[in-house]
A and B are shown apart, each in its own frame.
Chain A
Amino acid sequence: GAVVSQHPSWVICKSGTSVKIECRSLDFQATTMFWYRQFPKQSLMLMATSNEGSKATYEQGVEKDKFLINHASLTLSTLTVTSAHPEDSSFYICSAPLFVNEQFFGPGTRLTVL
């Protein structure tokens, strides 16, 4: 149990386009999901907390208009990178808690912006 999936696993796009990444909890419901970003050779940094039925909470320094988060249902959260630029190229990972203070992670999405 407690499986989290992400789609796509990798994506390459041109600068200026938008990219949508999906995060799904497959066998449990999650009113909250977390989005992380990981640059090469660095650790995971929390970008935002996705809340079902309400607005996402963004960490300091993360542009909410650039990284649009929609928690459409109890099993799906989406992250849309709008007007992507090469500096947005990164590894994006989502997670969902099954228990308080225990998160289960998706396999990640590698975004490359040309």
Chain B
Amino acid sequence: KQEVTQIPAALSVPEGENLVLNCSFTDSAIYNLQWFRQDPGKGLTSLLLIQSSQREQTSGRLNASLDKSSGRSTLYIAASQPGDSATYLCAVAHLGQLTFGSGTQLTVLP
């Protein structure tokens, strides 16, 4: 059974800092990995999706990498802003289903 772990569980950084969120998964037989953002009490916003054949994806200040063989992904956020404060979830897809990590709660201090 696929298990997805995210560390750290919570992270607080000053505005402007670059940061890395980590995601690991136990079964490397995935179709893709996706990073989401969730604001308190809200649904999910898809940030980046990396297909299993890809190594990374970039969108603006966000860069996500995937090392399928080692079961790891990172989400890099450059020049963090208070508006980036949210919970970040990673999820891996296999056979049409998603397995989510427990998330990293990010707080960017002004």
Per DSSP, are chain A's interface residues mostly helix, strand or loop, or mixed? strand
A101 and B93 in contact, given A43-B100, A106-B43, A108-B43 (Cβ under 8 angstroms)? yes
The verdict on A87 contacting chain B, using a C-beta distance below 8 Å, is: no
Q: Is the CB of A101 within 8 A of B32?
A: yes
Chain B residues whose CB sits within 8 angstroms of the CB of A6 once the complex forms: 43
Residues of A within 8 A of B41 (CB): 91, 110
Given contacts A43-B103, A108-B42, contact A103 B98 (CB under 8 A): yes
Determine the distance from Cα of A101 to Cα of B97 in the docked complex, in whole angstroms.
7
7 more CB-based (< 8 A) A-B contacts, given A46-B99, A108-B43: A32-B96, A44-B91, A91-B41, A101-B93, A104-B46, A105-B43, A105-B44
State the main secondary structure of chain B at its contact with A. Answer: strand
Please count how many residues in chain B sit with their CB below 8 Å of the partner chain's CB atoms.
Answer: 22
Count of inter-chain pairs, beta carbons less than 8 A:
48
Could you tell me which A residues sit within 8 Å of B by CB distance?
A: 6, 32, 34, 42-46, 49, 91, 93, 95, 97, 100-108, 110
In the assembled complex, the Cα of A28 lies from the Cα of B46 at a distance in Å of 18
- Report the minimum CB–CB distance from A46 to chain B (whole Å): 7
Interface residues of B in 83-107 (CB under 8 A from A): 89, 91, 93-94, 96-103
Task: Using CB atoms, name the residue of chain B closest to A103.
Answer: B98
Q: Do the beta carbons of B31 and A101 come within 8 Å of each other?
A: yes
